[in-house]
Amino acid sequence: MTIQWFPGHMHATRKAMAERVRDVDAVVELLDARLPGSSENPLLAELTRGKPALKLLNKQDLADPALTRVWLDHLQARPATRALAMDASERAPARRLEAACRALLPNRGGLVKPLRVLICGIPNVGKSTLINSMLGQRAARTGDEPGITKTEQRIMLAEDFALIDTPGLLWPRIEVDESGLLLAASGAVGRNAYDEEEVARALLGRVRPRYADRLATRYRFAPAPAAPDDEVLTEIGRRRGALGPGGRISLQKAAEVVLNDFRSGAWGPLTLETPEEFAAWCAAAAAR
Ligand code: GDP
């Protein structure tokens, strides 16, 4: 299954983003720390043409700390790139974000050469939470300015530091099927673009090999490693009273239980992909 999701406003956003990129010094991209590869916008590198980048692995409280470390090292090995893990609701995200951007752009700063940084990320990655938490501290959000589209806002983090906000953006074609499923599981994809049962099965398939104990604790049963994901989903439905007409187990409702539990972090901190796994999916998709 390929998940495609690109409503009209995203075309406009992409165009606006391409235009704004010309005027910025660096790009901050929020990634979901549980799926850092899949949640990274493949168009961004093309749109930003090698501008310095800060990758923020958000929702680190929901991710596996050991794998977050692996991803941070992996991302920071790229040229002109810094990576930070954070929890968007933490008390002082603005300070860490600002320090990382200033380190990335040592030759900018001061009122003569203020820093202009674009912030972007897929829907549901936590961008509004981060921005609200920064606004709550000390930043001031200015209204629409002439020449700036309504879809963007400028946040002054310091006198010489403007953060330019863009709406959540997914890319036109998610070439990697595994990524499409994980993005849907994370809540980044519009509800109409995927089948919840399929996404829940795929999610269980990713989680079971590495974190079987978490599922066993949450649902109080330990399926055989070889048991099909369908069977595990049915058993979760039975245990959670996910019933449909006639008292039969509803796989749809069981899928909703699984997706809600994953999104809310009820399984404990976990990460769905390693850099190697993600690279292998990309290579396989490119070879198709
Ligand atoms: P946006 O679409 O990128 O603006 O995402 P939101 O800021 O609306 O966040 C989407 C959901 O993720 C909300 O339920 C937030 O409360 C939650 N969220 C955002 N950041 C974090 C985080 O760092 N940790 C956790 N646990 N939840 C977060």
Q: How far is the CA of 114 from the centre of ligand 1 (A)?
A: 29
The number of the ligand 1 atom at minimal distance from the alpha carbon of 90 is: 23
Atom of ligand 1 nearest to the CA of 122: 3
For 195-287, CATH gives: 1.10.1580.10
Does ligand 1 come within 6 angstroms of the Cβ of 88? yes
Ligand 1 pocket check for 168: Cβ under 6 Å: yes
**CA 142 – CA 135 distance, rounded (Å):** 11
**Any atom of ligand 1 within 6 Å of the Cβ of 128:** yes
The model's pTM: 0.90
Find out whether the beta carbon of 187 lies less than 6 Å from any atom of ligand 1. no
Question: What residue spans define the domains of the chain?
Answer: 8-165, 195-287
Distance between CA 236 and CA 284 in Å, rounded? 32
pLDDT digits (tens, 9 = 90+) for 45-104: 778 877 999 999 999 999 999 999 999 999 999 999 999 999 987 777 888 999 999 999
Which pLDDT belongs to residue 145? 44
Ligand 1, atom 4: nearest CA belongs to which residue?
Answer: 128
Cα–Cα distance for residue pair 199/189, rounded to 1 Å:
11
* 124 Cβ inside 6 Å of ligand 1: yes
244, 184 contact by CB (below 8 A): no
129 has binding-site annotation: yes
Residues comprising the chain, all counted: 288
Q: What is the pLDDT of residue 218?
A: 97
Taking the domain 8-165, which CATH number applies? 3.40.50.300
Q: Six-digit token pair at 10? A: 């995203």
3-state SS of 217-236? Answer: HHHCCCCCCCCCHHHHHHHH
Residues linked to residue 156 through DSSP beta bridges, in sequence order: 140, 162
Residues in the chain with pLDDT values less than 50: 140, 142-150
Element (H, E) at 155: strand 153-158
Looking at residue 149, its pLDDT comes to 41
- Residue 110 tokens, joined: 């001061």
